[in-house]
Amino acid sequence: LILSGCWDRTELNDLALVTGIGIDQKGKNIMLTGQLVVPKQLGAGTAMSGSNIGGGGTTIVLSGTGRTIADAIANLQEKLPRRIFWGHVKAIVFGEKAAKAGIRQHLDFLSRQPQTRLRSNVLIASGTAKSVLELLPPIEQSSAEVLRELSKSQILLNVTLKDALQMLSSDTGAAAFPMVKRLPLEKGKKELETIAFIQRTAIFKKDKMIGSIDDKLTRGVLWIRNKIKQTNITVSFKGVKGKITATMIRAHTELIPKYEKGKWKMVVNITSQDDILLNGTNLSLYNEKHLHMLEKELAHATTARVKATLQKVQKEMKADVFGFADEFHRAYPKEWNRVKDRWDDIFPTVEVVVKTKAYARRPGMNAAPQGVSEQEVKK
């Protein structure tokens, strides 16, 4: 009885460790691409090279096809001498065609698979997922590690498998995922010697991708969802030459739902605190009047960006990726239950009022703009 604890052990030498998963639509079949670690290349003194089918790097990329993702994995296992282990997956990438066809069944399999980590990052590839996993990153050991670090930086969206499951099972079924694209190949480089970067955001409705938005509109989504972590805003003043750039220190967004006389309304209260990065004008920011002028322009620029996002996502795409439905459900459960089946029709008509306050906390170490004589500075 004491010795029976090792009956189902699996030696590390018998496992093929997967660090990244790519899922593509190939006709009526599913193509699953796995980025696998090459153990013999991980020893001391090995150069940090990326993934390549031909070998020689720290990872290799292999694919399997089937009618479902489970069949594709079985086909991939036939090509490997080791048993596939999914416990080290860092990134799950869906190709654009697979995303438009629907990802619910794939997420269902991944959530049922006990080895898959719910904190793995989920991304959408502009093109095929396989082409992203095959890249040879110049710094990290694998492209899956690059995608994880890009997501963790939170410059744009950061979505895990757990987040994806929660979004698609919410009241609206709408979701937003970071979208990656390969950088153009530089002159003198080999075909795969480039990297991918998060460029856009893919918008989903009922588990299918319906379109995408650029990075500026993505930050509008982040503002509304209270998940903005870093952003720069550049503003100018009427009658003043030059521009001022501020960087956000911290921000907070509060959603206040209202239901009056059969009409749905959402008030978005945004508060941000900023540092001044660059002053290209002749205004002294130690003047309280100039500082208040700047704060007003920063608030106006933020409001304009949020309204542009609402116009695109709410009015045109009609996808509630902001979480409005959840807020209305909590505040007005009885009224919500009467309209939840018609929310797709009601959401585009919801009146959204955006109120923004910006505070410039630190104008910088220099009292006067650099390169401007003291006589020209407006104090």
pLDDT in tens, 98-108: 999 999 999 99
> Which of these, 115, 239, 138, lies nearest to 196 by C-alpha position?
138
Mean pLDDT, 10 residues at a time, the chain of 379 residues? 69 88 94 90 48 58 94 94 92 96 92 90 93 84 88 88 91 91 69 70 93 93 92 89 90 95 94 90 82 93 96 95 93 92 93 95 66 55
Return d(Cα 262, Cα 228) in angstroms, integer.
32
Within 8 A by CB and 6+ apart from 281, the residues are: 237, 240, 241, 242, 243, 244, 369
Task: Identify the pLDDT of residue 233.
Answer: 92
pLDDT at 47: 44
Question: Is there a contact between 210 and 320 (Cβ–Cβ < 8 Å)?
Answer: no
Strands 351-362, 263-279: parallel, antiparallel or unpaired by DSSP? parallel
Name every residue whose Cβ is closer than 8 Å to that of residue 142 and which is 6 or more positions away in sequence.
Answer: 19, 20, 35, 50, 51, 58, 59
Positive or negative: CA dihedral 274, 277, 280, 286:
positive
**What is d(CA 194, CA 347) in angstroms, rounded to the nearest whole number?**
41
Residue type, 266: M
Residue 185: predicted pLDDT? 66
**Residue corresponding to tokens 């492209």:** 143
Instruction: In whole angstroms, give the CA distance from residue 197 to residue 213.
Output: 15
CA 268 to chain CA centroid, nearest Å: 22
* Global confidence as pTM: 0.86
Residues near 91 by Cβ (< 8 Å), separated by ≥ 6?
19, 20, 21, 120, 121, 122, 123, 144, 147, 148, 151
CB atoms within 10 A of CB 368: 18
Give 208's strand partners: 205
Considering only CA atoms, give the Rg of the chain. 25
Question: Are 192 and 135 contacting, i.e. CB atoms less than 8 angstroms apart?
Answer: yes
Give pLDDT, residue 55.
Answer: 42
SS (H, E, C) the chain: CHHHHHCCCCCHHHEEEEEEEEEEEECCEEEEEEEEECHHHCCCCCCCCCECCCCCCCEEEEEEEECCHHHHHHHHHCCCCCEEECCCCCEEEECHHHHHHCCHHHHHHHHHCCCCCCCCEEEEECCCHHHHHCCCCCCCCCHHHHHHHHHHHCCCCCCEHHHHHHHHCCCCCEEEEEEEEECCCCCCCCCCCCCEEEEEEEEEECCEEEEEECHHHHHHHHHHCCCCCCCEEEEECCCCCCEEEEEEEEEEEEEEEEEECCEEEEEEEEEEEEEEEEECCCECCCCHHHHHHHHHHHHHHHHHHHHHHHHHHHHHHCCCCCCHHHHHHHHCHHHHHHHHHHHHHHHHHCEEEEEEEEEEEECCCCCCCCCCCCCCCEC
What's the N-to-C CA distance of the chain in angstroms?
85
